[in-house]
Structure 1
């Protein structure tokens, strides 16, 4: 009996060892099957950096066979140039970019030194919109800005300078002789308006055009809390369309009345996507799985960044033509009913 008991324990131990070997083998197989993807976003501390970190964390919590590792970068222009300079990264890298900056890249316009191949959408994670505000009661429309000083962001800032200036020039036909545009920076533009050294300044924020939710940018919040009496200038849908047709990528969008108490009427303007994009060489199945994961967890992004609360399935593709969405992502959107 004693010998038999020892024999049973030995058999049980052997079985445990064997099952452990099998488990380790399966675990190793799963690790080998997992696809490793890099994400480069924007400088540390920016909203894009935080959202990139959120996507990495969400990928770790969801077993989809894809692991995303996120790192900061100098910015969207750098990201596009990096993929061009290192084509071996195209199958394994997601980059932060957006419709406006990609339009400039494809055209080879500043700040780019040549035309660059286009990238394709995985998902928008923000939609940025900006417009002009004034404290001068005599300035009621954009046309009233002739002969005035307008403070905008720095020259390389897509949403806060390049797109607004394009609407002024291509949408309204203003020349450098008609208006004095000062490229000073977003906070500096608001400061110039408050201290009277500018007649109008760029303000704005982030929107979900599906739900009409708006979240003002930090410098805009500061401006609106100054106790002054601002007047917000509507760009006009026709003028936005003219600027787009002239070569600046942006989508028509409307800031609803009531987004701030000082916004008493809808503002016809634009939205520019801030997005995760990939090269056409990026694997279709990987793009499909990542997009499905984002759709399934779209409500989680608000836990990482306030602007993440504006994400919605429909907003994830807003402003993009179907042919500019990666085929794998497009399959996920069609399965979810976001795109027909």
Structure 2
């Protein structure tokens, strides 16, 4: 026993000195969106890269499905989420206290990076004879679930077009995972989604029923894009979805990754480092990421100040001064 005791003590000392065991785990949560959307893939992809480094950083990441942009920002504000994905327009509104955030600005909101473009997308059953946005009048339309960026953008488009929810014979509030089946079952004539492409939900919709992407263009959209720097005109390429061989004109935003100034610099730094140190791997996790460039992700779509942790990494890479 006397010989065994020093050995055990030495082993205990070696274990306590181990850098892996000495690193205390910190749990971070990323707000995403519906499981069929690209937001969910963004969060899951970031967590996959972060969790590969848990032994070194102590960070352990989860990315549950959520209601989307506005819900994510509100959860970060309440301290219920560490980070989240949000449309660039809702990042702007939350930080500046405009639109749904009028009088309630989230001045602690911080940008981390932008991700993929997100066109405002309308898909209609071919038998509904809907060719453009104005044709939605009198139709059954899924306008998006409350708390989602898609729903918020739909309301802005309606206002710009001089329309309202009352113009529809039905304004349903289904989540993205539910709306494709509703279109195929003829429960709605059209669905709306602000999302990166190609998207699984829209592939499902156009595969199960003869459906067309709808043009969202005209003077009202031109004015909307001109007056709001977080919007841009977009053409959804043809050939992505069954029965939609031609490009579809619309407008869109950027998906952005955001957090709060309350989150420690080192935490955000390690998350950013995990993504950009493994950038080729990240780009391969979804087709919407294929054309991403670091410089554009830092410059485009971010209207809130950069978080110091993100800024630190970008300075180290020479991407910002």
Whether TM exceeds 0.5 here: the answer is yes
Is 1:164 matched with 2:154?
Answer: yes
CA offset at residue 110 of structure 1?
Answer: 5.2
- Quick one: distance in 2 between partners of 1:138 and 1:69? 46
Is 1:72 matched with 2:64?
Answer: yes
CA offset at residue 320 of structure 1?
Answer: 2.2
User: What is the match of residue 312 of structure 1?
Assistant: 292
**Is the 1:129–1:271 Cα contact (8 Å) retained in structure 2?**
yes
Q: CA RMSD in A?
A: 4.6
**Paired residues for 1:185-264 under 5 Å:** 185=174, 186=176, 187-188=178-179, 191-192=182-183, 195=186, 198=189, 200-202=190-192, 205-206=195-196, 214-218=197-201, 220-226=202-208, 228=210, 230=212, 232-235=214-217, 239=221, 242=224, 245=227, 250=231, 252-260=233-241, 262-264=244-246
Q: Which has the larger radius of gyration?
A: 1
Tell me the alpha carbon deviations over residues 182-214 of structure 1, each in whole angstroms, 9 at most, x when there is no partner.
Answer: 23424447745873863x4425642xxxxxxx3
CA offset at residue 335 of structure 1?
Answer: 4.5
CA offset at residue 68 of structure 1?
Answer: 2.7
- Quick one: distance in 2 between partners of 1:49 and 1:72? 8
- Quick one: distance in 2 between partners of 1:228 and 1:282? 47
CA offset at residue 279 of structure 1?
Answer: 0.9
- Quick one: distance in 2 between partners of 1:259 and 1:237? 27
Matched residues, number:
308
Tell me the alpha carbon deviations over residues 270-322 of structure 1, each in whole angstroms, 9 at most, x when there is no partner.
Answer: 034153x221233334423321220122333477x646754734464474236
**Paired residues for 1:281-320 under 5 Å:** 281-301=262-282, 306=286, 310=290, 312-314=292-294, 316-317=297-298, 319-320=300-301
Is 1:173 matched with 2:162?
Answer: yes
SS of 1:122's partner is strand
- Quick one: distance in 2 between partners of 1:82 and 1:133? 30
| Change in CA separation of 1:65 and 1:160 when aligned onto 2, cut-off 3 Å | closer
- Quick one: distance in 1 between partners of 2:209 and 2:22? 60
**Is the 1:166–1:243 Cα contact (8 Å) retained in structure 2?**
no
- Quick one: distance in 1 between partners of 2:41 and 2:121? 25
**Is the 1:240–1:269 Cα contact (8 Å) retained in structure 2?**
no
Instruction: Note the residue ranges of structure 1 that are not aligned, 5 or more in a row.
Output: 1-9, 207-213
| Change in CA separation of 1:105 and 1:32 when aligned onto 2, cut-off 3 Å | same
- Quick one: distance in 1 between partners of 2:173 and 2:166? 19
**Paired residues for 1:6-21 under 5 Å:** none
Question: TM-score under structure 1 normalisation?
Answer: 0.66
